[in-house]
């Protein structure tokens, strides 16, 4: 079994994560298991009403959505696998259960060594048209922090680096909260900020997490269930 991508990216810093976070980020291709998280977002979506019609145009990409809610249930599946280009990857499939509708949010994070890069890149949405570099760090308390950097847009044969004035940055933090519930819970908070528009997307909440075996004992490194597969893969970064 290969090394988990977050351990590859963090190196020795991985050991400084809270033990529960080390376990969460230890899925690797060929393990025969996938992760399932179920919990509640205290807040999720776009707080700015005037932005929501624009975000509605992107719902087909399954990356942004126009709804905003509080106390919204969600489910996440994490699948570690090799992508079609041989890169070690982690695909996340999120279901957010807003009243009256369920939104999907997909991404695949891959460990990339092309073009002198040696770190994580994140492909967003069901068509993987946007990719960003992920800059990771570990806090003094063992939390994981991540910032998305330098997004690129793929339109057919064109690879378009987004200028800083147009790019949106995601700021994420994840940690284990032992004081919550009867046995502790995972916590996450994410803010997506665009320089011209301000806060585009926010979500923050808590969840329980477990590992489930793939049906039939499947453990091939390249296995990814159909429900988690994007409509399009992207080799470029």
CATH (domain of 162): 2.40.128
Residue at 236 is within a domain: no
Dist. CA 90–CA 80, nearest whole Å? 4
Q: Is the pLDDT of residue 1 over 70?
A: no
Taking the CB of residue 88, how many other CB atoms lie within 10 A of it? 21
pLDDT band of residue 117 (cuts 50, 70, 90) is: confident
Distance (Å, whole) CA 193 – CA 62: 18
The residue among 99, 80, 78 whose CA lies nearest residue 188 is 78
For residue range 56-65, what is the model confidence (pLDDT) as tens digits?
988 999 999 9
The answer to the question of residue 237 being in a domain is no
Quick: pLDDT tens for 11-66: 999 999 999 999 999 999 999 999 999 999 999 999 999 999 989 988 999 999 99
Q: Is 41 contained in some domain? A: yes
Q: Return the bridge partners of 72, or none.
A: 41
Q: Is the pLDDT of residue 10 over 80?
A: yes
Instruction: Tell me which residue range forms the domain holding 59.
Output: 5-228
Number of domains the chain contains: 1
Q: Output DSSP code: residue 53.
A: H
Contact 96, 105 (CB under 8 A): yes
CA angle 135, 111, 76 (to 5 degrees): 80
For the chain, what is the mean pLDDT?
95
């Amino acid at each position: 079994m290969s090394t988990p991508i977050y351990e590859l990216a963090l190196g020795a810093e991985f050991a400084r994560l809270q033990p529960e976070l080390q376990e969460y980020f230890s899925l690797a291709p060929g393990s025969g298991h996938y992760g399932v998280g179920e919990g509640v977002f205290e807040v999720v979506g776009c707080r700015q009403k005037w932005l929501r019609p624009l975000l509605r145009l992107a719902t087909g990409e399954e990356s942004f959505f126009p709804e905003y809610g509080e106390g919204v249930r969600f489910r996440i599946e994490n699948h570690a696998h090799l992508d079609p280009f041989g890169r070690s990857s982690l695909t996340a499939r999120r279901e957010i259960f807003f009243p009256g509708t369920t939104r999907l949010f997909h991404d695949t994070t891959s460990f990339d060594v092309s073009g002198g890069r040696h770190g994580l890149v994140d492909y967003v949405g069901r068509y993987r048209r946007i990719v960003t570099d992920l800059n990771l760090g570990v806090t003094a308390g063992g939390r994981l922090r991540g910032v998305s950097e330098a997004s690129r847009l793929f339109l057919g044969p064109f690879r378009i680096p987004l200028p800083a004035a147009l790019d949106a940055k995601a700021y994420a933090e994840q940690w284990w909260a032992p004081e919550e519930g009867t046995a502790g819970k995972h916590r996450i908070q994410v803010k997506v900020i665009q320089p011209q528009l301000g806060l585009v997307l926010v979500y923050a909440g808590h969840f329980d997490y477990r590992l489930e075996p793939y049906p039939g004992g499947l453990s091939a490194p390249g296995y990814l269930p159909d429900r988690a597969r994007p409509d399009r893969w992207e080799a470029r970064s």
